[in-house]
Amino acid sequence: MSDYPTPPFPSQPQSVPGSQRKMDPYPDCGEQSYTGNNRLAGKIALITGADSGIGRAVAIAYAREGADVAIAYLNEHDDAQETARWVKAAGRQCLLLPGDLAQKQHCHDIVDKTVAQFGRIDILVNNAAFQMAHESLDDIDDDEWVKTFDTNITAIFRICQRALPSMPKGGSIINTSSVNSDDPSPSLLAYAATKGAIANFTAGLAQLLGKQGIRVNSVAPGPIWTPLIPATMPDEAVRNFGSGYPMGRPGQPVEVAPIYVLLGSDEASYISGSRYAVTGGKPIL
């Protein structure tokens, strides 16, 4: 078992959406450690927010498990190119799809371009998210509230709706929720509300799609060390990130990736409508 970093961490303010290349300590996305076992051989995956953090870890794991990967991201081109390099190093194809998921047309475009390149989508991972920390309701701008919902939950609806005709029986949709769906942080009010919506949307969609043979699940990470943290949270929160959880540290993206592999694989053929916690010991009941 790896000896992962524990807080306190250095001060490292960043602008939104954040860059993985600037983080200290550098997040572990499995670049040197994840070993594949051919569990996703021949599958096609579309992953949003895959330039860095959890999305990068999932992309690397999927490629090493035998899947070709389409990577949707906002505008972090350097980080996205680094993810693509690891996917290609695993011998798999990689498609880069930059743009803003808060825009309806872009949600449609990433699906259409993935299908044009690969012919179908076997695994859809809706992982992209936006958050900002605020200590007062009055500090939340109306446009920011709308952007948070458009990026975090409305985009998932739009992408799923567009992708379904190109998903064969046995396909898998995996949505990234959060421990905030169960235990909302008051300083992340808009973000937490969207994560609760994702958990609910996932549970309902699983029931709608069961007879089509398409599974839908969500993953609820706890504090994971990704660029979103230094880019959107106060310095003191970043310094002590994850210290209040039972394991006393934040999780690394590579520690979240295995559940996405399981849920995307045929091994999970009867798993649908569920939410899986990756929270370093904090229960979701």
- Does domain 20-275 fall under CATH 3.40.50.2030? My reply is no
User: Catalytic: which of 34, 191, 260, 276?
Assistant: 191
Q: Which of 232, 244, 174 shows the shortest CA–CA distance to 205?
A: 174
Q: Among residues of the chain, what percentage have pLDDT more than 90?
A: 97
- Its sign, for the CA torsion 259, 265, 266, 272, is positive
| Strand-strand pairing, 123-126 and 275-278 | unpaired
What does the pLDDT average to over 95-111? 98
What does the pLDDT average to over 16-35? 95
pTM: 0.97
Active site annotation includes 191: yes
What does the pLDDT average to over 248-252? 98
Backbone angles phi, psi at 275, to 5 degrees: -125, 130
Give the span between the Cα atoms of 167 and 123, in whole angstroms. Answer: 8
Give the span between the Cα atoms of 218 and 196, in whole angstroms. Answer: 11
What does the pLDDT average to over 201-206? 98
- The partner residues of 48 in beta bridges, in order of sequence, read 72
What pLDDT is stored for residue 10 in this prediction? Answer: 96
What pLDDT is stored for residue 285 in this prediction? Answer: 76
Give the span between the Cα atoms of 40 and 260, in whole angstroms. Answer: 11
Map out the domains of the chain as residue ranges: 20-275
- Which pLDDT band holds residue 1 (cuts at 50, 70, 90)? low
* Coil, strand or helix at 85: helix
Going by the DSSP 8-state scheme, the letter that residue 154 receives in this structure is I
